[in-house]
């Protein structure tokens, strides 16, 4: 179904839902899904509405222009997405291919409705695999990191990327890039954050004798592995599992958590709230 998705974050007050719903109704709009949440700590209100495109008598451009007049007095941060325009996902990867493989499978099977204009890597290992899918592959060596990340940003802008996905890209994104693309860089970290941030989290977990391991999909931020969390999952292990077993088990969690987190993002189900997220599933 062709639809427009309206997402809003604004200071909480009386009348927000009434104003937005009345606006849609006045133009004959048919709301097929609606979600609301008040964050008590920040006193901000969050809305996500899906509106049938064919129920409105004008284009999405006109919808945005008209809604801007309503949004101003409520001091809304808002956007309207058109489901007919697929999000453009640029994937960054190093040598491990399980997350990349899973995303490309979901993309080829149309389970994940996005465009993938390119894959960027700091190794050549996965070139043939990516190009077999008909996707351009860009090798960016990391000997000079400022130059390398400038090239990654240039490629991202050239292909008009909407979101950058770190599918086990084993490099730390510089703070200036995290700020430039805030809430547009999605990372998968192989632990249940905030536990075991940084390198080799499964080995850290093994040393601590944990009984649960997990993975975390989050937005990249200037502080390593501390950005707003989108999605998490865990699985139970026991004393007989080695660190290598944990790595093997963890791959399954990582790829499913990343796929879910990316889906929530491209469907405009994730709204930032400070260093937290509101996720309308």
Q: Strand pairing partners for 90? A: 164
With bands split at pLDDT 50, 70 and 90, how would you rate the model's confidence at 124?
A: very high
User: Could you tell me the domains of the chain?
Assistant: 3-82 (3.30.70.260), 89-279 (3.40.50.170)
Exactly one of 225, 241, 252, 268 is catalytic; name it.
225
Q: What integer pLDDT is reported at residue 200 of this predicted model?
A: 85
Asked if residue 80 lies in contact with residue 60, where contact means CB atoms within 8 angstroms, the answer is yes
Q: Does the annotation mark 238 as catalytic?
A: no
* pTM of this structure: 0.94
Q: What integer pLDDT is reported at residue 195 of this predicted model?
A: 81
Question: How confident is the prediction for the chain on average, in pLDDT?
Answer: 95
Q: What integer pLDDT is reported at residue 150 of this predicted model?
A: 98
* Rounded-to-integer distance, Cα 278 and Cα 281, Å: 9
Asked if residue 42 lies in contact with residue 34, where contact means CB atoms within 8 angstroms, the answer is no
User: How is residue 115 annotated by DSSP?
Assistant: B
Asked if residue 5 lies in contact with residue 268, where contact means CB atoms within 8 angstroms, the answer is yes
> For 134-175, how does the pLDDT look when each residue is reduced to its tens digit (9 = 90+)?
999 999 999 999 999 999 999 999 999 999 999 999 999 999
Q: What integer pLDDT is reported at residue 224 of this predicted model?
A: 86
> For 14-31, how does the pLDDT look when each residue is reduced to its tens digit (9 = 90+)?
999 999 999 999 999 999
Question: What is the average pLDDT across 241-256?
Answer: 92
Q: What integer pLDDT is reported at residue 193 of this predicted model?
A: 80
Q: Are strands 212-219 and 185-189 parallel, antiparallel or unpaired?
A: antiparallel
Asked if residue 103 lies in contact with residue 119, where contact means CB atoms within 8 angstroms, the answer is no
Asked if residue 189 lies in contact with residue 228, where contact means CB atoms within 8 angstroms, the answer is no
- Return all residues near 198 (Cβ < 8 A) that are at least 6 apart: 204, 224, 225
Pairwise pLDDT comparison (193 vs 182), residue with the higher score:
182
> For 56-96, how does the pLDDT look when each residue is reduced to its tens digit (9 = 90+)?
999 999 999 999 999 999 999 999 999 999 999 999 999 99
Residue pointed to by tokens 């000079």: 144
């Amino acid at each position: 179904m062709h639809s427009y998705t309206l997402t809003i974050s604004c200071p909480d007050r009386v009348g927000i839902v009434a104003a937005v719903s009345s606006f849609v109704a006045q133009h004959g709009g048919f709301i097929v899904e609606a979600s609301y949440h008040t964050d008590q700590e920040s006193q901000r209100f969050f809305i996500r509405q899906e509106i049938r495109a064919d129920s409105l008598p004008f284009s999405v451009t006109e919808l945005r222009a008209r809604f801007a007049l309503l949004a101003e007095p409520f001091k809304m941060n808002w956007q309207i997405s058109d489901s007919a325009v697929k999000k453009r996902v640029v994937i960054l990867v190093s040598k491990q291919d399980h997350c990349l493989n899973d995303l490309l499978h979901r993309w080829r099977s149309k389970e994940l409705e996005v465009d993938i204009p390119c894959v960027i890597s700091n190794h050549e290992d996965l070139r043939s695999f990516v190009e077999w899918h008909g996707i351009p592959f860009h090798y960016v060596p990391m000997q000079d990191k400022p130059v390398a990340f400038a090239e990654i940003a240039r490629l991202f802008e050239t292909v008009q990327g909407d979101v950058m996905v770190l599918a086990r890209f084993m490099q730390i994104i510089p703070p200036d890039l995290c700020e430039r693309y805030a809430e547009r860089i999605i990372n998968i970290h192989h632990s249940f954050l905030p536990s075991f941030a940084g390198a080799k989290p499964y080995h850290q977990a093994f040393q601590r004798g944990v009984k649960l391991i997990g993975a975390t999909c989050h937005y990249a931020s200037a502080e390593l592995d501390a950005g707003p969390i989108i999605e998490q999952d865990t699985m139970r292990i026991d004393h007989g599992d080695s660190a290598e077993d944990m790595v093997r088990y963890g791959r399954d969690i990582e790829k499913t958590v990343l796929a879910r987190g990316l889906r929530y993002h491209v469907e405009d189900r994730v709204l930032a709230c400070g260093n937290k997220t509101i996720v309308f599933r």
